[in-house]
C-alpha cells in the first residue's frame, strides 16, 4: 500500500527527520491560505498522487505570490497527471501540498528497501539526488552506496555515520545525518514498511538536512496491526479493479490486454 508525500512526511517527522513546513489544500483558495499560514515569500505547490517524476509532468510548481499559487493549484486540481510511472491514463489530482521553498545547497538520494536475497533491510544512498535511482545507477553507478542491516541488532550508529561520511556530508552535519538515517530505519521497522525513499534529501544553504520529498509503501499483510496506516489509504489512486477485489478479500493484479489467467505452476492455476 502506498501513501501520499504529505502523509509520509508526517510519519517521518515523528522520528526527528526535518521536513519543510507545509499544509494540505483541496482548492486554489485554500492553497493560497496555506501559504499565508506558512509565511515567507516563496512556496512550492505539489500535486499529491502516488507517483514519482511529478516535477517533469508539471505537478510541482515554485510560486512567489498568491496569484501564482492560485494559478498553479487551478491548473492541477481535478486533472489527471501523467508521468512515466502512471501510464497514459495518469492519476487524478484531488489534493495539493503547499510547503515552504528551500534554499538548496546539494541533493542526496536515500532509500530503504527489503532485500530478499540477503533477507535484510537494505539502505541505498547516493550523493547524486533528485533523479530516479534507476537514472543514478545508469549515469553514476559509483556514487551508489549499499548497506544491509542485521535484523537481530538493528541499525547501529556506526553504520549511519559510515553512510553519512560516504555521502560526503560535512562534519558539522554528520550528527544530523546520523539521526536522519536512524530515524528512517526505525520508521521503516515500526510501520512495517516495504519501501521508504527520500529523494531528494537536501543540504540547505543554512546548514540543515531536510527531506524535500518522501515516499513510503507498506506490507499489506501487516496492515491489520497498523490501523492508523490503513486509514491513510487513498483508493482513488489505486487500480479500481484491484480495489474491488481487495474489498471482497480477493487478490487480483490488474493487467492490460486480454489476459484472463496467469499460470504459475504448483497446481495453483
Q: What is the mean pLDDT of each run of 10 residues along the chain (269 residues)?
A: 97 98 98 97 97 90 97 96 88 96 96 95 92 79 91 96 96 97 98 96 96 96 92 87 79 74 66
pLDDT at 194: 96
Instruction: Residue 16: name the closest of 210, 169, 158 by CA.
Output: 210
Q: What is the pLDDT of residue 182?
A: 98
- The pLDDT assigned to 228 comes to 93
200 upstream amide cis, omega within 30 of 0: yes
What's residue 188's pLDDT?
98
Nearest alpha-carbon partner for 178 in 155, 144, 200: 155
Active site residue 191: no
Whether the pTM exceeds 0.85: the reply is yes
How far apart, in whole angstroms, are the C-alpha atoms of residue 37 and residue 98? 10
What is the per-residue pLDDT for 249?
77
| 252 assigned to active site | no
Identify the active-site residue in 6, 97, 99, 109: 109
Catalytic residue among 197, 220, 231, 242: 197
Q: How confident is the model at residue 251, as a pLDDT?
A: 76
Which structural domains are found in the chain, ordered by start? Answer: 21-100 (3.30.1490.20), 104-218 (3.30.470.20)
Burial label for 173, CB within 10 Å (0-12, 13-18, 19+), is middle
Cell of 149: 542491516
217 φψ region: left (φ > 0), alpha (ψ -120 to 50), beta (else): beta
Amino acid at each position: 500500500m502506498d501513501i501520499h508525500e504529505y502523509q509520509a512526511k508526517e510519519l517521518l517527522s515523528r522520528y526527528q527527520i526535518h521536513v519543510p513546513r507545509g499544509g494540505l489544500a483541496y482548492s486554489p483558495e485554500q492553497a493560497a491560505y496555506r501559504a499565508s499560514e506558512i509565511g515567507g515569500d516563496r512556496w512550492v505547490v505539489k500535486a499529491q498522487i502516488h507517483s514519482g517524476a511529478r516535477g517533469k509532468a508539471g505537478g510541482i510548481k515554485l510560486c512567489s505570490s498568491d496569484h501564482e499559487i492560485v494559478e498553479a493549484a487551478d491548473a492541477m486540481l481535478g486533472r489527471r497527471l501523467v508521468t512515466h510511472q502512471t501510464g497514459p491514463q495518469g492519476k487524478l489530482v484531488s489534493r495539493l501540498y503547499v510547503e515552504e521553498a528551500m534554499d538548496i545547497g546539494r541533493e542526496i538520494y536515500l532509500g530503504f528497501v527489503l532485500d530478499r536475497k540477503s533477507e535484510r533491510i537494505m539502505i541505498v544512498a547516493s550523493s547524486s539526488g533528485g533523479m530516479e535511482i534507476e537514472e543514478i545507477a545508469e549515469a553514476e553507478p559509483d556514487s551508489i552506496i549499499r548497506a544491509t542491516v542485521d535484523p537481530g541488532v538493528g541499525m547501529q550508529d556506526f553504520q549511519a555515520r559510515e553512510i553519512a561520511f560516504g555521502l560526503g556530508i560535512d562534519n558539522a552535519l554528520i550528527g544530523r545525518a546520523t539521526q536522519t538515517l536512524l530515524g528512517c530505519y526505525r520508521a521503516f521497522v515500526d510501520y512495517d514498511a516495504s519501501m521508504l525513499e527520500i529523494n531528494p534529501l537536501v543540504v540547505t544553504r543554512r546548514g540543515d538536512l531536510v527531506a524535500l520529498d518522501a515516499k513510503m509503501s507498506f506490507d499489506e499483510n501487516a496492515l491489520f496491526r497498523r490501523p492508523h496506516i490503513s486509514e491513510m489509504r487513498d483508493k482513488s489512486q489505486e487500480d479500481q479493479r484491484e480495489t474491488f477485489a481487495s474489498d471482497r478479500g480477493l487478490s487480483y493484479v490488474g493487467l492490460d490486454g486480454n489476459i484472463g489467467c496467469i499460470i504459475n505452476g504448483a497446481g495453483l492455476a
